Chains A and B, each alone.
Chain A
Protein backbone atom coordinates (compact mmCIF):
# COMPACT_ATOMS: atom_id res chain seq x y z
CA UNK A 1 0.00 0.00 0.00
CA UNK A 2 2.72 2.44 0.95
CA UNK A 3 4.70 1.20 -2.01
CA UNK A 4 1.81 2.25 -4.22
CA UNK A 5 1.82 5.70 -2.67
CA UNK A 6 5.50 6.13 -3.35
CA UNK A 7 5.07 4.69 -6.82
CA UNK A 8 2.21 7.03 -7.57
CA UNK A 9 4.23 9.99 -6.41
CA UNK A 10 7.27 8.95 -8.40
CA UNK A 11 5.12 8.43 -11.48
CA UNK A 12 3.52 11.82 -10.99
CA UNK A 13 6.87 13.56 -10.63
CA UNK A 14 8.26 11.81 -13.70
CA UNK A 15 5.27 12.56 -15.86
CA UNK A 16 5.07 16.20 -14.83
CA UNK A 17 8.75 16.64 -15.56
CA UNK A 18 9.24 18.07 -19.01
CA UNK A 19 12.10 15.66 -19.74
CA UNK A 20 9.70 12.79 -20.22
CA UNK A 21 7.34 14.68 -22.50
CA UNK A 22 10.31 15.86 -24.54
CA UNK A 23 11.58 12.34 -25.02
CA UNK A 24 8.19 11.01 -26.08
CA UNK A 25 7.91 13.83 -28.58
CA UNK A 26 11.38 12.96 -29.80
CA UNK A 27 10.40 9.34 -30.26
CA UNK A 28 7.31 10.22 -32.22
CA UNK A 29 9.30 12.59 -34.38
CA UNK A 30 11.83 9.86 -35.06
CA UNK A 31 9.12 7.47 -36.17
CA UNK A 32 7.72 10.15 -38.44
CA UNK A 33 11.18 10.80 -39.86
CA UNK A 34 11.61 7.17 -40.80
CA UNK A 35 8.93 7.71 -43.38
CA UNK A 36 10.96 10.48 -44.91
CA UNK A 37 13.99 8.25 -44.94
CA UNK A 38 12.10 5.56 -46.80
CA UNK A 39 13.46 6.76 -50.10
CA UNK A 40 16.97 5.86 -49.04
CA UNK A 41 15.97 2.43 -47.94
CA UNK A 42 15.72 0.94 -51.40
CA UNK A 43 12.50 -0.87 -50.89
CA UNK A 44 13.14 -1.88 -47.30
CA UNK A 45 11.28 1.07 -45.89
CA UNK A 46 8.94 -0.99 -43.77
CA UNK A 47 11.82 -2.74 -42.08
CA UNK A 48 13.44 0.62 -41.51
CA UNK A 49 10.34 2.07 -39.91
CA UNK A 50 9.74 -0.90 -37.66
CA UNK A 51 13.37 -1.28 -36.77
CA UNK A 52 14.01 2.36 -35.97
CA UNK A 53 10.69 2.66 -34.22
CA UNK A 54 11.39 -0.26 -31.91
CA UNK A 55 14.95 0.88 -31.35
CA UNK A 56 13.69 4.29 -30.36
CA UNK A 57 11.46 2.68 -27.75
CA UNK A 58 14.43 0.98 -26.15
CA UNK A 59 16.92 3.79 -26.54
CA UNK A 60 14.60 6.56 -25.42
CA UNK A 61 13.58 4.45 -22.49
CA UNK A 62 17.24 4.00 -21.64
CA UNK A 63 17.73 7.74 -21.89
CA UNK A 64 14.89 8.32 -19.44
CA UNK A 65 16.46 5.83 -17.06
CA UNK A 66 19.85 7.49 -17.34
CA UNK A 67 18.51 10.99 -16.90
CA UNK A 68 15.75 10.46 -14.39
CA UNK A 69 16.19 7.02 -12.92
CA UNK A 70 19.76 7.33 -11.81
CA UNK A 71 19.00 10.32 -9.65
CA UNK A 72 15.72 8.93 -8.38
CA UNK A 73 17.01 8.23 -4.95
CA UNK A 74 20.04 10.48 -4.93
CA UNK A 75 18.00 13.55 -5.67
CA UNK A 76 15.73 12.80 -2.78
CA UNK A 77 18.70 12.44 -0.50
CA UNK A 78 20.34 15.63 -1.74
CA UNK A 79 17.16 17.61 -1.52
CA UNK A 80 16.32 15.97 1.77
CA UNK A 81 12.81 15.19 0.61
CA UNK A 82 13.57 11.67 1.75
CA UNK A 83 13.66 12.82 5.38
CA UNK A 84 9.96 13.43 5.35
CA UNK A 85 9.31 9.95 4.09
CA UNK A 86 11.69 7.74 6.03
CA UNK A 87 10.78 9.44 9.31
CA UNK A 88 7.36 7.86 8.88
CA UNK A 89 6.45 4.22 9.40
CA UNK A 90 7.73 3.38 5.91
CA UNK A 91 10.18 0.50 5.64
CA UNK A 92 13.11 1.35 3.41
CA UNK A 93 12.68 -1.62 1.05
CA UNK A 94 9.09 -0.53 0.47
CA UNK A 95 10.36 2.91 -0.44
CA UNK A 96 12.79 1.50 -3.00
CA UNK A 97 10.21 -0.78 -4.53
CA UNK A 98 7.87 2.18 -4.78
CA UNK A 99 10.46 4.29 -6.60
CA UNK A 100 11.14 1.45 -9.01
CA UNK A 101 7.48 0.81 -9.66
CA UNK A 102 6.75 4.48 -10.26
CA UNK A 103 9.44 4.96 -12.84
CA UNK A 104 8.66 1.64 -14.49
CA UNK A 105 5.05 2.73 -14.79
CA UNK A 106 6.17 5.95 -16.48
CA UNK A 107 8.27 3.91 -18.88
CA UNK A 108 5.33 1.62 -19.63
CA UNK A 109 3.39 4.70 -20.67
CA UNK A 110 6.20 5.99 -22.87
CA UNK A 111 6.91 2.63 -24.48
CA UNK A 112 3.25 1.87 -25.05
CA UNK A 113 2.65 5.27 -26.64
CA UNK A 114 5.53 4.81 -29.04
CA UNK A 115 4.74 1.17 -29.72
CA UNK A 116 1.10 1.89 -30.40
CA UNK A 117 2.02 4.71 -32.75
CA UNK A 118 4.30 2.39 -34.61
CA UNK A 119 1.69 -0.34 -34.87
CA UNK A 120 -0.89 2.12 -36.15
CA UNK A 121 1.54 3.56 -38.66
CA UNK A 122 2.49 0.16 -39.96
CA UNK A 123 -1.15 -0.86 -40.26
CA UNK A 124 -1.89 2.36 -42.12
CA UNK A 125 0.91 1.50 -44.52
CA UNK A 126 -0.96 -1.65 -45.38
CA UNK A 127 0.75 -4.20 -43.16
CA UNK A 128 -1.64 -4.95 -40.32
CA UNK A 129 0.02 -8.32 -39.90
CA UNK A 130 3.03 -6.62 -38.35
CA UNK A 131 1.06 -5.19 -35.45
CA UNK A 132 1.07 -8.25 -33.15
CA UNK A 133 4.82 -8.65 -33.56
CA UNK A 134 5.31 -4.97 -32.76
CA UNK A 135 3.16 -5.38 -29.68
CA UNK A 136 5.27 -8.31 -28.52
CA UNK A 137 8.50 -6.47 -29.20
CA UNK A 138 7.21 -3.47 -27.24
CA UNK A 139 6.27 -5.72 -24.34
CA UNK A 140 9.75 -7.18 -24.28
CA UNK A 141 11.25 -3.71 -24.44
CA UNK A 142 9.16 -2.75 -21.42
CA UNK A 143 10.49 -5.75 -19.52
CA UNK A 144 14.02 -4.78 -20.45
CA UNK A 145 13.48 -1.21 -19.30
CA UNK A 146 12.01 -2.36 -15.98
CA UNK A 147 15.08 -4.46 -15.41
CA UNK A 148 17.37 -1.54 -16.19
CA UNK A 149 15.31 0.68 -13.89
CA UNK A 150 15.93 -1.70 -11.02
CA UNK A 151 19.66 -1.42 -11.69
CA UNK A 152 19.34 2.36 -11.77
CA UNK A 153 17.59 2.28 -8.40
CA UNK A 154 20.34 0.09 -6.97
CA UNK A 155 23.12 2.38 -8.14
CA UNK A 156 21.13 5.45 -7.22
CA UNK A 157 20.85 4.18 -3.66
CA UNK A 158 24.58 3.63 -3.46
CA UNK A 159 26.22 6.34 -5.44
CA UNK A 160 26.12 9.75 -7.13
CA UNK A 161 23.88 10.42 -10.15
CA UNK A 162 26.80 10.55 -12.58
CA UNK A 163 28.33 7.28 -11.43
CA UNK A 164 24.91 5.65 -11.31
CA UNK A 165 24.34 6.64 -14.92
CA UNK A 166 27.71 5.22 -15.95
CA UNK A 167 27.18 1.93 -14.15
CA UNK A 168 23.68 1.56 -15.56
CA UNK A 169 24.91 2.30 -19.06
CA UNK A 170 27.74 -0.16 -18.55
CA UNK A 171 25.36 -2.91 -17.54
CA UNK A 172 23.15 -2.09 -20.51
CA UNK A 173 26.03 -2.51 -22.95
CA UNK A 174 27.43 -5.57 -21.23
CA UNK A 175 23.98 -7.09 -21.18
CA UNK A 176 23.77 -6.86 -24.97
CA UNK A 177 26.92 -8.93 -25.30
CA UNK A 178 26.19 -11.71 -22.86
CA UNK A 179 25.83 -14.27 -25.64
CA UNK A 180 29.15 -13.29 -27.14
CA UNK A 181 30.77 -13.42 -23.73
CA UNK A 182 29.52 -16.96 -23.22
CA UNK A 183 30.72 -18.06 -26.62
CA UNK A 184 34.06 -16.43 -25.99
CA UNK A 185 34.30 -18.08 -22.61
CA UNK A 186 33.66 -21.50 -24.10
CA UNK A 187 36.83 -21.19 -26.17
CA UNK A 188 39.10 -20.41 -23.20
CA UNK A 189 41.08 -22.64 -20.85
CA UNK A 190 39.46 -23.63 -17.62
CA UNK A 191 39.97 -21.22 -14.76
CA UNK A 192 39.35 -18.29 -17.06
CA UNK A 193 36.39 -20.00 -18.65
CA UNK A 194 34.60 -20.50 -15.35
CA UNK A 195 35.19 -16.90 -14.28
CA UNK A 196 34.00 -15.45 -17.55
CA UNK A 197 31.02 -17.77 -17.71
CA UNK A 198 30.08 -16.77 -14.19
CA UNK A 199 30.34 -13.10 -15.10
CA UNK A 200 28.15 -13.69 -18.12
CA UNK A 201 25.60 -15.33 -15.88
CA UNK A 202 25.56 -12.42 -13.43
CA UNK A 203 25.01 -9.85 -16.13
CA UNK A 204 21.46 -9.19 -17.26
CA UNK A 205 20.81 -11.20 -20.37
CA UNK A 206 19.29 -8.38 -22.38
CA UNK A 207 19.41 -10.32 -25.63
CA UNK A 208 16.45 -12.24 -24.23
CA UNK A 209 14.31 -9.12 -24.66
CA UNK A 210 15.31 -8.40 -28.21
CA UNK A 211 13.04 -9.58 -30.97
CA UNK A 212 13.45 -6.54 -33.17
CA UNK A 213 14.75 -8.49 -36.16
CA UNK A 214 11.74 -10.76 -36.01
CA UNK A 215 9.31 -7.91 -35.65
CA UNK A 216 10.87 -6.04 -38.53
CA UNK A 217 9.93 -8.98 -40.67
CA UNK A 218 6.47 -9.16 -39.12
CA UNK A 219 7.18 -12.44 -37.36
CA UNK A 220 5.83 -13.13 -33.89
CA UNK A 221 7.77 -14.96 -31.23
CA UNK A 222 6.84 -17.99 -29.16
CA UNK A 223 4.85 -17.99 -25.95
CA UNK A 224 7.79 -19.78 -24.37
CA UNK A 225 10.04 -16.86 -25.19
CA UNK A 226 7.59 -14.35 -23.75
CA UNK A 227 7.10 -16.46 -20.65
CA UNK A 228 10.78 -16.95 -19.99
CA UNK A 229 11.51 -13.29 -20.58
CA UNK A 230 8.76 -12.24 -18.18
CA UNK A 231 9.93 -14.66 -15.51
CA UNK A 232 13.52 -13.57 -15.91
CA UNK A 233 12.67 -9.88 -15.68
CA UNK A 234 10.54 -10.33 -12.58
CA UNK A 235 13.09 -12.42 -10.77
CA UNK A 236 16.11 -10.38 -11.79
CA UNK A 237 14.35 -7.19 -10.67
CA UNK A 238 13.53 -8.85 -7.38
CA UNK A 239 17.15 -9.79 -6.90
CA UNK A 240 18.45 -6.32 -7.69
CA UNK A 241 15.88 -4.57 -5.52
CA UNK A 242 16.71 -6.90 -2.64
CA UNK A 243 20.36 -5.96 -3.02
CA UNK A 244 19.40 -2.31 -3.07
CA UNK A 245 17.42 -2.85 0.13
CA UNK A 246 20.40 -4.46 1.80
CA UNK A 247 22.59 -1.53 0.84
CA UNK A 248 20.00 1.04 1.77
CA UNK A 249 19.03 -0.42 5.12
CA UNK A 250 22.04 0.79 7.03
CA UNK A 251 22.55 3.97 5.07
CA UNK A 252 22.78 7.12 7.16
CA UNK A 253 21.18 10.33 5.98
CA UNK A 254 23.25 13.10 7.37
Chain B
Protein backbone atom coordinates (compact mmCIF):
# COMPACT_ATOMS: atom_id res chain seq x y z
CA UNK B 1 0.00 0.00 0.00
CA UNK B 2 1.41 3.35 -0.96
CA UNK B 3 1.12 6.45 1.06
CA UNK B 4 -2.37 7.82 0.62
CA UNK B 5 -2.80 11.29 -0.78
CA UNK B 6 -4.73 13.56 1.51
CA UNK B 7 -7.34 14.51 -1.04
CA UNK B 8 -9.81 11.64 -1.21
CA UNK B 9 -11.52 10.02 1.69
CA UNK B 10 -14.11 7.28 1.86
CA UNK B 11 -15.09 6.49 5.39
CA UNK B 12 -16.99 3.30 4.82
CA UNK B 13 -14.30 1.63 2.75
CA UNK B 14 -11.68 2.50 5.31
CA UNK B 15 -13.79 1.07 8.06
CA UNK B 16 -14.34 -2.26 6.43
CA UNK B 17 -10.69 -2.60 5.57
CA UNK B 18 -9.47 -2.01 9.05
CA UNK B 19 -10.97 -4.99 10.80
CA UNK B 20 -9.71 -8.52 10.48
CA UNK B 21 -12.05 -10.71 8.51
CA UNK B 22 -13.19 -12.66 11.55
CA UNK B 23 -14.58 -9.53 13.07
CA UNK B 24 -16.42 -8.02 10.23
CA UNK B 25 -19.98 -8.55 11.43
CA UNK B 26 -21.86 -5.30 11.98
CA UNK B 27 -25.49 -5.73 13.00
CA UNK B 28 -26.03 -8.00 15.99
CA UNK B 29 -22.34 -7.95 16.91
CA UNK B 30 -21.61 -9.84 20.10
CA UNK B 31 -19.39 -7.16 21.50
CA UNK B 32 -20.13 -3.48 21.77
CA UNK B 33 -17.34 -1.33 20.37
CA UNK B 34 -15.37 0.45 23.07
CA UNK B 35 -15.63 3.63 21.02
CA UNK B 36 -17.78 4.35 18.00
CA UNK B 37 -17.56 7.61 16.15
CA UNK B 38 -19.82 8.55 13.24
CA UNK B 39 -19.28 11.54 10.98
CA UNK B 40 -17.97 13.62 13.83
CA UNK B 41 -17.22 17.21 13.00
CA UNK B 42 -16.21 20.30 14.88
CA UNK B 43 -16.15 23.85 13.56
CA UNK B 44 -14.83 26.87 15.34
CA UNK B 45 -16.43 30.24 14.86
CA UNK B 46 -14.27 33.25 15.60
CA UNK B 47 -16.17 35.46 18.05
CA UNK B 48 -15.22 38.68 16.30
CA UNK B 49 -14.89 37.94 12.62
CA UNK B 50 -17.54 35.19 12.60
CA UNK B 51 -15.27 33.19 10.35
CA UNK B 52 -15.79 29.47 10.60
CA UNK B 53 -12.68 27.33 10.80
CA UNK B 54 -13.07 23.61 10.45
CA UNK B 55 -11.44 21.64 13.22
CA UNK B 56 -12.69 18.16 12.41
CA UNK B 57 -14.54 17.05 9.34
CA UNK B 58 -16.54 13.89 8.98
CA UNK B 59 -14.47 11.57 11.18
CA UNK B 60 -15.64 8.01 11.68
CA UNK B 61 -13.99 5.01 13.30
CA UNK B 62 -14.54 2.23 15.81
CA UNK B 63 -12.40 0.79 18.55
CA UNK B 64 -12.64 -2.85 19.50
CA UNK B 65 -12.54 -3.56 23.19
CA UNK B 66 -9.05 -4.48 24.29
CA UNK B 67 -7.13 -2.95 21.42
CA UNK B 68 -4.57 -0.23 21.51
CA UNK B 69 -5.41 2.39 18.95
CA UNK B 70 -2.98 5.04 17.88
CA UNK B 71 -4.16 8.44 16.72
CA UNK B 72 -1.41 10.08 14.74
CA UNK B 73 -1.10 13.47 13.21
CA UNK B 74 0.89 16.68 13.23
CA UNK B 75 0.06 19.53 15.59
CA UNK B 76 -3.26 21.09 14.82
CA UNK B 77 -4.52 18.11 12.86
CA UNK B 78 -7.45 17.54 15.14
CA UNK B 79 -6.17 14.74 17.38
CA UNK B 80 -6.76 16.54 20.61
CA UNK B 81 -10.08 17.84 19.31
CA UNK B 82 -11.30 14.29 18.79
CA UNK B 83 -10.10 13.17 22.19
CA UNK B 84 -11.68 16.13 23.91
CA UNK B 85 -14.99 15.55 22.21
CA UNK B 86 -14.97 11.99 23.45
CA UNK B 87 -14.12 13.19 26.96
CA UNK B 88 -16.89 15.75 27.07
CA UNK B 89 -14.70 18.83 27.02
CA UNK B 90 -15.78 19.97 23.57
CA UNK B 91 -19.20 19.93 21.94
CA UNK B 92 -19.19 18.49 18.45
CA UNK B 93 -20.82 20.53 15.74
CA UNK B 94 -22.07 17.43 13.97
CA UNK B 95 -22.05 13.66 14.11
CA UNK B 96 -22.28 11.35 17.09
CA UNK B 97 -20.14 9.13 19.24
CA UNK B 98 -20.61 6.34 21.77
CA UNK B 99 -18.45 4.92 24.52
CA UNK B 100 -19.33 1.29 25.23
CA UNK B 101 -22.66 1.91 23.58
CA UNK B 102 -23.46 5.03 25.59
CA UNK B 103 -23.96 8.30 23.76
CA UNK B 104 -21.25 10.75 24.75
CA UNK B 105 -23.83 13.47 25.26
CA UNK B 106 -24.74 11.69 28.48
CA UNK B 107 -22.54 12.38 31.44
CA UNK B 108 -22.63 8.69 32.42
CA UNK B 109 -20.80 7.73 29.24
CA UNK B 110 -17.64 8.92 30.94
CA UNK B 111 -17.81 6.55 33.86
CA UNK B 112 -15.64 3.88 32.25
CA UNK B 113 -13.30 6.50 30.86
CA UNK B 114 -9.83 7.48 32.04
CA UNK B 115 -8.53 10.58 30.29
CA UNK B 116 -5.02 11.98 30.31
CA UNK B 117 -4.92 15.49 28.83
CA UNK B 118 -1.81 16.91 27.23
CA UNK B 119 0.47 18.61 29.74
CA UNK B 120 -1.75 18.08 32.73
CA UNK B 121 -1.73 20.42 35.66
CA UNK B 122 -3.20 20.10 39.09
CA UNK B 123 -4.11 21.97 42.20
CA UNK B 124 -1.39 23.89 43.96
CA UNK B 125 -2.17 23.04 47.52
CA UNK B 126 -3.03 19.37 47.33
CA UNK B 127 -0.64 16.48 47.51
CA UNK B 128 -0.66 13.37 45.36
CA UNK B 129 -2.81 11.03 47.47
CA UNK B 130 -5.35 13.78 48.21
CA UNK B 131 -5.75 14.58 44.55
CA UNK B 132 -5.98 10.97 43.41
CA UNK B 133 -8.48 10.16 46.10
CA UNK B 134 -10.67 13.07 45.03
CA UNK B 135 -10.73 12.14 41.35
CA UNK B 136 -11.24 8.48 42.20
CA UNK B 137 -14.32 9.38 44.18
CA UNK B 138 -15.57 11.63 41.40
CA UNK B 139 -15.37 8.63 39.12
CA UNK B 140 -17.49 6.57 41.47
CA UNK B 141 -15.19 4.84 43.93
CA UNK B 142 -16.21 4.76 47.57
CA UNK B 143 -14.14 6.54 50.22
CA UNK B 144 -11.96 3.70 51.48
CA UNK B 145 -11.60 2.17 48.05
CA UNK B 146 -10.56 5.51 46.63
CA UNK B 147 -7.94 6.05 49.30
CA UNK B 148 -6.43 2.64 48.74
CA UNK B 149 -6.43 3.06 44.98
CA UNK B 150 -4.83 6.49 45.32
CA UNK B 151 -1.94 5.16 47.36
CA UNK B 152 -1.51 2.17 45.06
CA UNK B 153 -1.41 4.13 41.85
CA UNK B 154 0.79 6.86 43.22
CA UNK B 155 3.36 4.18 43.93
CA UNK B 156 2.75 2.44 40.66
CA UNK B 157 3.70 5.52 38.64
CA UNK B 158 6.81 6.02 40.70
CA UNK B 159 5.68 8.91 42.87
CA UNK B 160 5.21 6.96 46.09
CA UNK B 161 8.07 8.63 47.90
CA UNK B 162 6.68 12.08 47.12
CA UNK B 163 3.34 11.46 48.79
CA UNK B 164 3.60 14.49 51.01
CA UNK B 165 4.78 16.88 48.34
CA UNK B 166 2.41 19.63 47.23
CA UNK B 167 1.53 19.37 43.58
CA UNK B 168 2.80 22.85 42.83
CA UNK B 169 6.29 21.52 43.46
CA UNK B 170 6.04 18.71 40.95
CA UNK B 171 8.30 18.69 37.92
CA UNK B 172 6.88 18.31 34.44
CA UNK B 173 7.66 14.63 34.39
CA UNK B 174 6.05 14.11 37.77
CA UNK B 175 2.93 15.90 36.62
CA UNK B 176 2.71 13.64 33.62
CA UNK B 177 2.99 10.58 35.83
CA UNK B 178 0.35 11.87 38.19
CA UNK B 179 -1.91 12.52 35.24
CA UNK B 180 -1.52 8.93 34.22
CA UNK B 181 -2.28 7.78 37.73
CA UNK B 182 -5.40 9.94 37.73
CA UNK B 183 -6.52 8.33 34.50
CA UNK B 184 -6.02 4.86 35.93
CA UNK B 185 -7.00 5.20 39.58
CA UNK B 186 -10.64 4.20 39.06
CA UNK B 187 -9.87 1.13 36.93
CA UNK B 188 -11.34 2.46 33.70
CA UNK B 189 -12.27 0.23 30.78
CA UNK B 190 -11.21 2.82 28.24
CA UNK B 191 -8.09 4.93 28.40
CA UNK B 192 -7.78 8.02 26.25
CA UNK B 193 -4.26 9.37 26.44
CA UNK B 194 -3.19 12.61 24.79
CA UNK B 195 0.57 12.55 24.30
CA UNK B 196 1.22 10.19 27.23
CA UNK B 197 4.98 10.22 26.77
CA UNK B 198 5.34 13.97 26.75
CA UNK B 199 7.81 15.36 29.27
CA UNK B 200 9.21 11.98 30.20
CA UNK B 201 12.78 10.81 29.96
CA UNK B 202 13.49 7.48 28.24
CA UNK B 203 13.07 5.59 31.49
CA UNK B 204 9.76 7.25 32.07
CA UNK B 205 8.64 6.45 28.59
CA UNK B 206 9.50 2.84 29.04
CA UNK B 207 7.48 2.74 32.26
CA UNK B 208 4.50 4.24 30.56
CA UNK B 209 4.78 1.78 27.74
CA UNK B 210 4.82 -1.05 30.23
CA UNK B 211 1.82 0.38 32.02
CA UNK B 212 -0.15 0.60 28.83
CA UNK B 213 0.72 -2.94 27.86
CA UNK B 214 -0.23 -4.07 31.34
CA UNK B 215 -3.62 -2.46 30.93
CA UNK B 216 -4.08 -4.18 27.62
CA UNK B 217 -3.46 -7.49 29.37
CA UNK B 218 -6.38 -6.60 31.60
CA UNK B 219 -8.61 -6.02 28.61
CA UNK B 220 -8.58 -2.25 28.81
CA UNK B 221 -9.02 -0.44 25.52
CA UNK B 222 -6.46 2.27 24.91
CA UNK B 223 -6.64 5.17 22.50
CA UNK B 224 -3.52 7.23 22.44
CA UNK B 225 -2.55 10.22 20.41
CA UNK B 226 1.03 10.99 19.70
CA UNK B 227 3.39 12.39 17.18
CA UNK B 228 6.25 10.15 18.34
CA UNK B 229 6.20 7.41 15.75
CA UNK B 230 8.37 4.80 17.45
CA UNK B 231 6.07 4.77 20.49
CA UNK B 232 3.04 4.34 18.31
CA UNK B 233 4.62 1.56 16.37
CA UNK B 234 5.65 -0.44 19.41
CA UNK B 235 2.37 -0.12 21.25
CA UNK B 236 -0.49 0.13 18.86
CA UNK B 237 -2.47 -2.51 17.08
CA UNK B 238 -3.98 -0.04 14.69
CA UNK B 239 -3.19 3.47 13.76
CA UNK B 240 -5.36 6.27 12.42
CA UNK B 241 -3.75 9.18 10.70
CA UNK B 242 -5.42 12.54 11.03
CA UNK B 243 -4.51 15.40 8.76
CA UNK B 244 -6.13 18.83 8.83
CA UNK B 245 -9.21 17.60 10.58
CA UNK B 246 -9.82 14.59 8.38
CA UNK B 247 -9.22 10.97 9.08
CA UNK B 248 -7.01 9.99 6.22
CA UNK B 249 -6.18 6.42 6.93
CA UNK B 250 -6.69 3.63 9.39
CA UNK B 251 -4.46 0.62 9.08
CA UNK B 252 -2.89 -2.13 11.06
CA UNK B 253 0.53 -1.09 12.18
CA UNK B 254 2.05 -4.12 10.59
CA UNK B 255 0.68 -3.24 7.17
CA UNK B 256 2.05 0.24 7.27
CA UNK B 257 5.42 -0.82 8.54
CA UNK B 258 5.90 -3.40 5.86
CA UNK B 259 4.43 -1.38 3.06
CA UNK B 260 5.94 1.49 1.25
CA UNK B 261 9.24 2.04 -0.43
CA UNK B 262 12.19 1.05 1.68
CA UNK B 263 14.90 3.61 2.04
CA UNK B 264 18.24 3.81 3.71
CA UNK B 265 19.48 6.84 5.56
CA UNK B 266 23.21 7.53 5.83
CA UNK B 267 24.74 10.06 8.15
CA UNK B 268 28.08 11.43 7.07
CA UNK B 269 30.54 13.85 8.57
CA UNK B 270 30.39 17.19 6.85
CA UNK B 271 28.94 17.62 3.39
CA UNK B 272 29.32 15.18 0.48
CA UNK B 273 31.39 16.20 -2.52
CA UNK B 274 29.23 17.89 -5.13
CA UNK B 275 30.01 15.60 -8.05
CA UNK B 276 27.70 12.61 -8.02
CA UNK B 277 28.47 9.75 -10.30
CA UNK B 278 25.65 9.37 -12.85
CA UNK B 279 24.71 5.95 -11.50
CA UNK B 280 23.86 7.47 -8.13
CA UNK B 281 22.30 10.72 -9.21
CA UNK B 282 18.53 10.53 -8.74
CA UNK B 283 18.75 7.72 -6.23
CA UNK B 284 20.17 9.86 -3.48
CA UNK B 285 18.68 12.89 -1.81
CA UNK B 286 20.65 15.17 0.44
CA UNK B 287 19.41 16.83 3.54
CA UNK B 288 21.70 18.95 5.67
CA UNK B 289 21.39 18.45 9.36
CA UNK B 290 23.74 20.71 11.19
CA UNK B 291 27.28 19.49 11.13
CA UNK B 292 26.38 16.12 9.62
CA UNK B 293 24.94 15.53 6.21
CA UNK B 294 22.05 13.14 5.77
CA UNK B 295 21.81 11.17 2.59
CA UNK B 296 18.63 9.29 1.77
CA UNK B 297 19.05 6.46 -0.65
CA UNK B 298 15.83 5.56 -2.43
CA UNK B 299 17.23 2.52 -4.17
CA UNK B 300 18.62 0.24 -1.48
CA UNK B 301 20.25 -1.93 -4.07
CA UNK B 302 22.76 0.82 -4.75
CA UNK B 303 23.97 0.95 -1.14
CA UNK B 304 27.32 -0.69 -1.84
CA UNK B 305 27.92 1.62 -4.77
CA UNK B 306 27.27 4.68 -2.62
CA UNK B 307 29.43 3.49 0.21
CA UNK B 308 32.30 2.75 -2.15
CA UNK B 309 32.06 6.22 -3.68
CA UNK B 310 31.97 7.91 -0.26
CA UNK B 311 34.96 5.94 0.98
CA UNK B 312 36.84 6.81 -2.19
CA UNK B 313 36.14 10.46 -1.57
CA UNK B 314 37.30 10.03 2.03
CA UNK B 315 33.93 10.96 3.44
CA UNK B 316 33.40 9.61 6.94
CA UNK B 317 30.19 7.58 7.17
CA UNK B 318 28.74 7.82 10.65
CA UNK B 319 25.69 5.56 10.40
CA UNK B 320 23.61 3.55 8.02
CA UNK B 321 19.95 3.08 8.93
CA UNK B 322 17.18 1.35 7.06
CA UNK B 323 14.09 3.53 7.23
CA UNK B 324 10.53 2.62 7.90
CA UNK B 325 9.01 4.38 5.05
CA UNK B 326 5.31 4.72 4.69
CA UNK B 327 4.31 5.95 8.10
CA UNK B 328 7.04 8.48 8.25
CA UNK B 329 6.58 9.65 4.68
CA UNK B 330 2.96 10.15 5.26
CA UNK B 331 3.56 11.99 8.46
CA UNK B 332 6.33 14.23 7.17
CA UNK B 333 4.43 15.11 4.04
CA UNK B 334 1.41 16.01 6.09
CA UNK B 335 3.47 18.06 8.53
CA UNK B 336 5.05 20.03 5.71
CA UNK B 337 1.69 20.51 4.12
CA UNK B 338 0.07 21.73 7.34
CA UNK B 339 2.90 24.14 8.09
CA UNK B 340 2.86 25.49 4.57
CA UNK B 341 -0.83 26.18 4.51
CA UNK B 342 -0.78 27.56 8.05
CA UNK B 343 -4.30 26.75 9.09
CA UNK B 344 -5.13 28.55 12.31
CA UNK B 345 -4.03 26.20 15.01
CA UNK B 346 -6.03 26.12 18.17
CA UNK B 347 -3.98 25.64 21.21
CA UNK B 348 -5.05 22.09 21.71
CA UNK B 349 -4.08 21.71 25.34
Direct contact of A and B (CB under 8 A): yes
Q: Say whether A80 contacts B120, CB under 8 Å.
A: yes
CA distance A5 to B131 in the complex (A): 11
**Looking at the complex, which one of A6, A79, A86, A91 makes contact with B89 (CB distance below 8 Å)?**
A86
Check B179 for interface membership: any CB of A closer than 8 A.
yes
CA distance A124 to B50 in the complex (A): 65
| Residues of the B chain whose Cβ atoms lie less than 8 Å from the Cβ of A85 | 135, 138
Contact with B along A193-214 (1 / 0, CB 8 A): 0000000000000000000000
Q: Say whether B135 contacts A254, CB under 8 Å.
A: no
Check B170 for interface membership: any CB of A closer than 8 A.
no
| Residues of the B chain whose Cβ atoms lie less than 8 Å from the Cβ of A84 | 115, 117, 120, 122, 135, 179, 182
Which residues of B from 69 to 109 have beta carbons under 8 Å from A?
84, 87-91, 107-109
Check B17 for interface membership: any CB of A closer than 8 A.
no
**How many A-B contacts at CB < 8 Å in the complex?**
81
Check A221 for interface membership: any CB of B closer than 8 A.
no
Name the distance in Å between B169's Cβ and chain A's nearest Cβ: 14
Q: Which residue of B lies closest to A90 (CB)?
A: B138
**Interface residue tally for chain B (C-beta within 8 Å):** 35
| Residues of the A chain whose Cβ atoms lie less than 8 Å from the Cβ of B90 | 252-254
Q: Say whether A81 contacts B121, CB under 8 Å.
A: yes
Q: Say whether A12 contacts B126, CB under 8 Å.
A: yes
Q: Say whether A87 contacts B88, CB under 8 Å.
A: yes
| Residues of the B chain whose Cβ atoms lie less than 8 Å from the Cβ of A180 | none
Name the distance in Å between B111's Cβ and chain A's nearest Cβ: 5
| Residues of the A chain whose Cβ atoms lie less than 8 Å from the Cβ of B347 | 254
Name the distance in Å between B79's Cβ and chain A's nearest Cβ: 13
**Contacts A5-B138, A85-B135, A88-B135 hold; do A250 and B87 have CB atoms under 8 A apart?**
no
Interface residues on A, range: 20 to 34
CA distance A84 to B140 in the complex (A): 14
CA distance A252 to B90 in the complex (A): 5
Please classify the interface of chain B as helix (H, G, I), strand (E, B), loop, or mixed, using the class held by over half of its residues: loop
| Residues of the B chain whose Cβ atoms lie less than 8 Å from the Cβ of A81 | 121-123
Q: Say whether B349 contacts A80, CB under 8 Å.
A: yes
Name the distance in Å between A101's Cβ and chain B's nearest Cβ: 15
Name the distance in Å between A139's Cβ and chain B's nearest Cβ: 29
Which residues of B from 117 to 144 have beta carbons under 8 Å from A?
117, 119-126, 130, 134-135, 137-140
| Residues of the A chain whose Cβ atoms lie less than 8 Å from the Cβ of B182 | 84
| Residues of the B chain whose Cβ atoms lie less than 8 Å from the Cβ of A184 | none
Check B348 for interface membership: any CB of A closer than 8 A.
yes
Instruction: Using CB atoms and an 8 Å cutoff, list the residues of chain B in contact with chain A.
Output: 84, 87-91, 107-111, 113, 115, 117, 119-126, 130, 134-135, 137-140, 179, 182, 346-349
The 7 closest A-B pairs by CB, nearest first: A16-B125, A87-B87, A87-B115, A83-B117, A253-B89, A89-B111, A79-B121
**7 other contacts beyond A80-B349, A254-B90, with CB at 8 A cut-off?**
A6-B138, A86-B89, A87-B113, A88-B113, A89-B107, A89-B140, A253-B89
